[in-house]
Amino acid sequence: MKIKELVSALERFAPLPLQDGFDNAGLQIGLTDAEATGALLCLDVTEAVLDEAIALGYNVVISHHPLIFKGYKSITGRDYVERCILKAIKNDIVVYAAHTNLDNAPGGVNFKIAEKIGLKNVRILEAKENALVKLTTFVPTAQAEDVRKALFDAGCGNIGNYDLCSYNMEGEGTFRAREGATPYCGAIGELHTEREVRIETI
């Protein structure tokens, strides 16, 4: 897996627009075109964490707290943050932070804490403004209108002073259901072609 694929997966689960205004979540150091040789998870990036990643041969460190919160005019190694930046760059280690975006994500840190302490009917107390996420799904043509209606009824499709917004493109989807599958259409072991609509909404 390429590092950029790992980053993409992280940001699908915890989109960066969900982070708080003070935060600096996301890719902090490094290039993402390389293959991931391993990822080390940590709460905070420290020199010891980077040393462990180097010893293990891992080229990705994923932290909860961002290493870099502010801009730097120079990087000379005068404090542990600068030393970590230099060490990561010298050793081709990508540093990625999933902080308040992970806290705020559905199924993320806050939801898991609520689940652990037994809270029921959990909801977001302070909704993020302008935190839009694109939803894309592929639906058989015959069910497209029902799915669009369900999406809109659930709150999708609102952009500014507009509602019921979506983009729709018709095409053909193919699949072959294997043993153990329960396909809505088509038969086990046979290639099936289905007219479908790609529905995109916010």
- What torsion do the CA atoms of 47, 49, 50, 51 make, to the nearest 10 degrees? 80
Buried b (16+ CB within 10 A) or exposed e, 3-42: beebbeebbeebbeebbeeebbbbbbbbebeeebeebbeb
Check the annotation: does 23 bind a ligand: no
Q: Is residue 65 part of an annotated ligand binding site?
A: yes
Run of H or E residues at 97: strand 94-97
Tell how many helices (H) and how many strands (E) occur in the chain.
Answer: 6, 7
CB 78 within 8 A of CB 57: no
| Listed residue (13, 20, 8, 7) closest to 111, CA to CA | 13
**Tokens (6 digits) for 140:** 């058989």
Q: Is 20 annotated as a binding residue?
A: no
Strand 60-63's sheet: what is its strand order?
26-29, 94-97, 60-63, 39-42
Nearest-5° Cα angle at 166, 105 to 104: 5
Cα Rg for the chain, rounded, in angstroms?
22
Q: Which residues are annotated as a binding site for a divalent metal cation?
A: 64-65, 103
Binding-site annotation: residue ranges: 64-65, 103
